[in-house]
A and B are shown apart, each in its own frame.
Chain A
């Protein structure tokens, strides 16, 4: 238990659906991250939030829309996804955004049909 929770753990959605992934951290951290992990590919950083402001958007398609309403919660809104978006989506948090260790949630396994 790292103090970072993600829901749902598994999600199957069609290409026309809209769904959201939720991440919550109980560590009092000020920075949160979304990563995409596909099979046989390195971890891809998607978004970084620091003090609820987005500080990095790593050329992610607009069908992925992040939201950080407060420093403890991070959402990833999904719409009109493609099959190649199927992956493990990992949320992480860190004390600040200055390069220190990140703590990861268990991930959401997303399958787009």
Chain B
């Protein structure tokens, strides 16, 4: 069975500093991997996705993520954080299947606080 873990529940970062959010996944084959962001009281917005190919993927809002198969990680990064990046971030994994619906599973989320 697939699983996804976000080890950090809460991260505080200064505005202008770099940010890295960790995501560990477990799946027997290459999964689909995603990062979403959720502002308070809002739905989830897709930041980026990885299906195959280049292991470094670029997303919206200046975010990027790197797929590392050997470490089973898909960490999200941003070189310089803006105050508007304060939100909750979710890593998700989707399983490609042909005989049933593709199980889509979310991590528990990482709350990011940005300080002046």
Contacts and interface: CB of A to CB of B under 8 A. Distances in A.
Contacts of A102: 46, 104
B89 interface: no
Q: Is the interface of B mostly helix, strand, loop or mixed?
A: loop
Contacts of A31: 101
Interface residues of A, number: 28
Interface in A93-112: 94, 97-107, 109
A108 to B, nearest CB: 10
A113 interface: no
Contacts of B43: 2, 4, 6, 90, 104-107
B50 to A, nearest CB: 10
Interface in A12-52: 31, 33, 42-43, 45, 48, 50
Given A99-B102, A99-B104, A90 B44 contact: yes
A31 B42 CA distance: 21
30 contacts: A2-B43, A2-B45, A4-B43, A6-B43, A43-B109, A45-B104, A50-B101, A55-B101, A56-B101, A90-B44, A92-B44, A94-B104, A97-B101, A98-B97, A98-B98, A98-B101, A98-B102, A99-B31, A99-B32, A99-B94, A99-B95, A99-B97, A99-B104, A100-B94, A101-B34, A101-B94, A103-B46, A104-B43, A104-B44, A107-B43
